Structure 1
Amino acid sequence: MFSRRPLFSLSLLAAAAAALAPIAVHAQAAAWPTKTIRVLVGSPPGGPSDITSRLFAEQLQKRTGQAVVVENKPGAGNNLAAGVVAQSEPDGYTLVVSPDTVVTTNPLVYRNMPFDAKKDLLNVSILASFTQLLVCNPKVKADTVPELVALTKTQPMTYASGGPAVPGHLAAEMFLQKTGARMQHIPYKGPAPATTAVLAGEVDCGFLATPTVMPQVQAGRLKALAVSSAEPSELAPQVPPLAKALNQKDLDISFKLVLQARRGTPAPVVAALEQHAAAIMAMPEIQARLRNVDLKAVGSTSAQAERTMQQEIARWAPVVSQLGLKMD
């Protein structure tokens, strides 16, 4: 007769290891961070995501005592950077700051996304929000939003954006849906060439990033009709909000910059990131620096960010569906 003790011992060891595994994970999470943190950005240097990421990373490094490195990985509507995080270890050491479009509209637009934004990415905190500025070439015979809407119904008109499915494109399409205005979309490779096209009169108007176009507005080379938010922009306080211009109080075409981690990141790490994000975004100097580029600091919890993304998905799905926009 053979002894069952070795098998019994192995079973005990396996059970003990299984019981201790969560404790080990929790201990590692409680010690976070113990090494360099990467923060990816899906746009080139100088854009809203990049500016916000660098301000956040600088303060996170001071607060944690660990190096925080920002890496720009532009392309595919911010999908390249987000994809790195979606396929990373869920340990809180690889993060991304993305516009909400990565979760809300990209899955509806891109046929071959290499990850599932809702399943693979955890929305840790909404760091900031931003809007777009509706500008037109001075030759356009409309000085208010209602005048522009009426003009589009009497003659062919065009609008520029920084590319398909970017915030400026989406803002313009929601504007058209809400007002019945008719304008043809002319996409460009970024807000700078789109602005140049409106300046040259090649395109009539455009919803474009406020910091990009405000110098041209102030110089009289473009005229600003509205900001896309429900509230005035501190960078352009003289320009009416679209909600007021159209007398639609609930109209708020704003976008969010979201700090994201791999879903499955331990709860203690997520809680730490939430706390750091809230504290950093509440700093007066951070808020002031963001206001200078027309960004509003937020610093939400993960639960708030998750709920907001679900609301934004529901808001933008009909717009994307009507556009029938598909990209590879």
Structure 2
Amino acid sequence: MRIFFQAARAIGLTVCLAAGTSAAISQTRNDDAANWPRRVVKLVVPTAPGQASDVLARLLADYLSKAFGQPFIVDNRNGGGGFIGLSIAAKSPPDGYTLVIASSGPLTVSPAVLSKVPMDTVKDLEPIANIALTPQVILVASKGPYKSLSDLIGAAKKKDLAFAIPPLGSTSHLAYAAFARSTNTNFNLVPFKGNVDSATQVIGGDVAAMYDTVPGALNLLKAGKLRPLAVAASQRSPFLPDTPTLGELGIQNSEAVGWIGLAAPVKTPPEILEKLASQVQRFLADPAVRASMKAQGFAPGDSATRESFKTTIRSDLAHWSKVAKEANIHVD
């Protein structure tokens, strides 16, 4: 009997020690989150330097460095359609010291067209904030014969016209698929590695039209080399106020609005995520930031909270999966 009580006391002591240790760890984590950041924060950018996401990331990193009093440094990890950088971030410790620029392409388009992706874009990351919108716009050569979208559609129904896709399986490709389905048109698709090559062919008259984001096409539009025919968004772009939306032209179910957001590894403490979300909202409201974003053709993101951004990701993934299935688009 004495042995039994000694064993029971030993077990009870072990349980108490374990509980105490667990409580101490929990308290440490809470303290770390409350006092975050205490050191350098790495902002992974899954693109090469100079691309749209990188430009926006550097603007954000500079702002957050000043706001939090700690360095936020950009770490470019290009390749794999964005999944190299995203995977690195997703596998990092969820302590708030590794963040990632998360854009709509790899998070919602790639999973819709690829049979396998190296991560679960919904479950492996914690959405923080939607920073900028990048709606698609249908473009033709400014010196070409098409003055309106009806001109382009009418010509496509009478003869074979080429439409540039940069590249297959991209947001532009799925945007085209939705547009072609809604207008009952069929162009000859010409894939290119990037939008620069596509624009060159359109401007030269070898390809009739293309899709690109407003920020991506803005310089060529300002230079008068491309003509915008329609924006694939619910509202007109502030950068192209005279260009109608597809909806205004009677073309439904063809919206294609990309975005660039901020995310963290799953299980990052909510206190840290909320701190970041609040600062991103201040970032987007800052006059100097808005001027810089305007110069680059970025419209501020429309998901004001972490939960609304998460809803946007899930909704877009479902939308593009439906478009890819209906158009039988698979890129493997």
Same fold (TM over 0.5): yes
> What is the 5 A alignment of 1:83-102?
83-102=87-106
Instruction: Say whether the 8 Å CA contact 1:214–1:236 is kept in structure 2.
Output: no
1:201 aligns with 2:213: no
Q: C-alpha deviations, 1:281-304, integer Å up to 9, x for none?
A: 111221221122221113621111
Corresponding residue for residue 264 of structure 1:
267
Corresponding residue for residue 250 of structure 2:
247
Corresponding residue for residue 125 of structure 1:
129
Corresponding residue for residue 36 of structure 2:
32
Q: C-alpha deviations, 1:142-178, integer Å up to 9, x for none?
A: 2111221121111111211321232222222221122
Q: Quick one: which of 276, 280, 292 aligns to 2:279?
A: 276
Q: C-alpha deviations, 1:5-57, integer Å up to 9, x for none?
A: 44432222112112333222111111111121111112222222112211111
Corresponding residue for residue 113 of structure 1:
117
Corresponding residue for residue 167 of structure 1:
171
Shift of 1:317: 1.5
Shift of 1:222: 2.9
Q: What fraction of aligned residue pairs are identical, expressed as a percent?
A: 26
Shift of 1:91: 1.4
Q: C-alpha deviations, 1:182-219, integer Å up to 9, x for none?
A: 11322212211121121222322101233443444444
Q: C-alpha deviations, 1:242-264, integer Å up to 9, x for none?
A: 322x2358753211112111111
> What is the 5 A alignment of 1:37-116?
37-116=41-120
Query: What letter is aligned with 2:288?
Result: E
After TM superposition, the structure 1 stretch with the greater mean CA deviation from structure 2, 230-239 or 195-204, is: 230-239
Give distance in 1, aligned partners of 2:66 and 2:246.
39
Instruction: Say whether the 8 Å CA contact 2:182–2:251 is kept in structure 1.
Output: no
Q: TM-score, normalised by structure 2?
A: 0.90
Query: What letter is aligned with 1:296?
Result: A
Shift of 1:325: 3.0
Instruction: Say whether the 8 Å CA contact 2:162–2:190 is kept in structure 1.
Output: yes
Compared CA separation, residues 140 and 155, structure 1 to 2 (3 A): farther
Query: How many residues are treated as equivalent by the alignment?
Result: 327
SS at match of 1:292: helix
Give distance in 1, aligned partners of 2:132 and 2:219.
23
Compared CA separation, residues 72 and 161, structure 1 to 2 (3 A): farther
SS at match of 1:116: coil
Corresponding residue for residue 301 of structure 1:
305
Stretches of structure 1 lacking an aligned partner (at least 5 in a row): none
Q: TM-score, normalised by structure 1?
A: 0.91
Alignment RMSD: 2.2
Give distance in 2, aligned partners of 1:200 and 1:325.
28
